[in-house]
């Protein structure tokens, strides 16, 4: 009886832990979702403030947040642009978080049209034109993205950034270690080297991680990168030449095929 009861408790704990982990990754409308999203927002509030502060958002800037959760950082960014020509954009996979954010910013959306909230199931295909944003940022996000998609996702973020625009990612190792100890995350999920590599592979420039200390929350980390103003900046000259040679071959082949088609039509 004792062994069966112990096994029952272990399975119950495992299911509860799994549910909390799922709610961290993708909150749904439920008691657990409400608790986890509220807890996460409280724990990351100061980090959001520091990330927004580090970006130096101007009143005319276009800013884009991925995975905005309850919208704390979007609200901070709105205060930066509300008197200028700037706009705040955000995408979120969670329908529950989308609903919460719409309710939170209903007046700002209706009266100023300076906040736009979108859904994005696939971050490799964002609903925005090229070279739109001055800043792209996310806090506590990349841990929940598929590792094999990180490079493609970052290429899409690079596309929507303006030349010279910045990407910023905020994280806090101490808090992530506690989530790992509680089996909410795996340490490999939030390995910063994994994300730095994905940014470099996506051809971002000036990729780096900086360590900071805040009296309220202790040590935190900010990963930053930039979209080059020079389209050739940071690219391997040999790879560029190979690509150019391949493009020229394709162009010559296309011309030859068109000529052959024209000759065949003329002979008819």
pLDDT in tens, 235-247: 556 665 676 677 6
Q: Are residues 223 and 177 in the same domain?
A: yes
Residues 98 and 151 in one domain: yes
In a domain, 157, yes or no: yes
Q: What's the CA gap between 201 and 223, in Å, rounded? A: 15
Claim to verify: residue 261 and residue 171 sit in the same structural domain: no
151 CB-near residues (< 8 Å, 6+ apart):
198, 201, 202
**Does residue 196 share a domain with residue 105?**
yes
Query: Are residues 202 and 94 part of one domain?
Result: yes
Domain count, the chain: 2
| Per-residue pLDDT tens over the stretch 122-136 | 899 998 999 999 999
pLDDT of residue 42: 74
Q: What CATH number should be reported for the domain holding residue 158?
A: 3.40.50.150
Write down the pTM of the prediction.
0.76
Residues 84 and 211 in one domain: yes
Domain that holds residue 253: 236-267
Q: What is the pLDDT of residue 132?
A: 95
Domain for residue 7, yes or no?
no
> Do 179 and 246 sit in the same domain of this protein?
no
**59 and 182 housed in the same domain:** yes
Burial status of residue 61 (CB atoms within 10 A of its CB: 0-12, 13-18, 19 or more):
buried
Identify whether 243 is part of a domain: yes
Q: With respect to residue 105, please indicate whether it lies within any of the assigned structural domains.
A: yes
In a shared domain, residues 56 and 140: yes
Let me know whether 225 and 242 are in one domain.
Answer: no
Same domain, 151 and 254: no
Regions of the chain where pLDDT drops below 70 = 1-41, 231-241, 243-244, 247-248, 250-251, 253-268
3-state SS, the chain, equals CHHHHHHHHHHHHHHHHHHHHHHHHCCCCCHHHHHHHHHHHHHHHHHHHHHHHHHCCCCCCEEEEECCCCCHHHHHHHHHHCCCCCEEEEECCCHHHHHHHHHHCHHHHHHHCCEEEECCCCCCCCCCCCCCEEEEEEECCHHHCCHHHHHHHHHHHHHHEEEEEEEEEEECHHHHHHHHHCCCCCHHHHCHHHHHHHHHHCCCEEEEEEEEEECCCEEEEEEEEECCCCCCCCCCHHHHHHHHHHHHHHHHHHHHHHHHHHHHHHHC
Residue 138 falls within a domain, yes or no? yes
The answer to whether 148 touches 118, Cβ cutoff 8 Å, is no
Same domain, 184 and 88: yes
């Amino acid at each position: 009886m004792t062994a069966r009861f112990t096994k029952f408790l272990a399975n119950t704990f495992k299911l509860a832990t799994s549910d909390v982990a799922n709610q961290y990754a993708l909150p749904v409308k439920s008691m657990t979702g409400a608790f986890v999203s509220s807890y996460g927002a409280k724990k990351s509030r100061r980090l959001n403030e520091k990330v927004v502060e580090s970006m130096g958002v101007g009143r005319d800037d276009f800013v884009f947040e991925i995975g905005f959760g309850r919208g704390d950082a979007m609200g901070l960014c709105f205060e930066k642009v509300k008197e200028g020509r700037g706009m705040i954009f955000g995408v979120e996979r969670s329908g529950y978080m989308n609903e919460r954010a719409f309710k939170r910013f209903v007046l700002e959306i209706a009266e100023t049209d300076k906040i736009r909230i979108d859904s994005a199931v696939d971050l490799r295909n964002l609903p925005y034109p090229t070279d739109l944003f001055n800043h792209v940022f996310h806090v506590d996000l990349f841990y929940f993205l598929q590792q094999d998609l990180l490079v493609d996702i970052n290429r899409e973020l690079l596309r929507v950034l303006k030349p010279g625009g910045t990407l910023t990612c905020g994280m806090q190792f101490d808090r992530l270690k506690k989530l790992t100890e509680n089996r909410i995350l795996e340490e490999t999920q939030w390995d910063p080297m994994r994300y730095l590599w994905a940014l470099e592979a996506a051809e971002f420039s000036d990729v780096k991680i900086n360590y900071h200390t805040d009296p309220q929350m202790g040590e935190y980390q900010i990963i930053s990168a930039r979209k080059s103003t020079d389209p050739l900046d940071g690219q391997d000259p040999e790879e560029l030449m190979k690509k150019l040679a391949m493009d020229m071959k394709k162009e010559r082949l296309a011309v030859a095929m068109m000529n052959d088609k024209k000759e065949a039509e003329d002979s008819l």
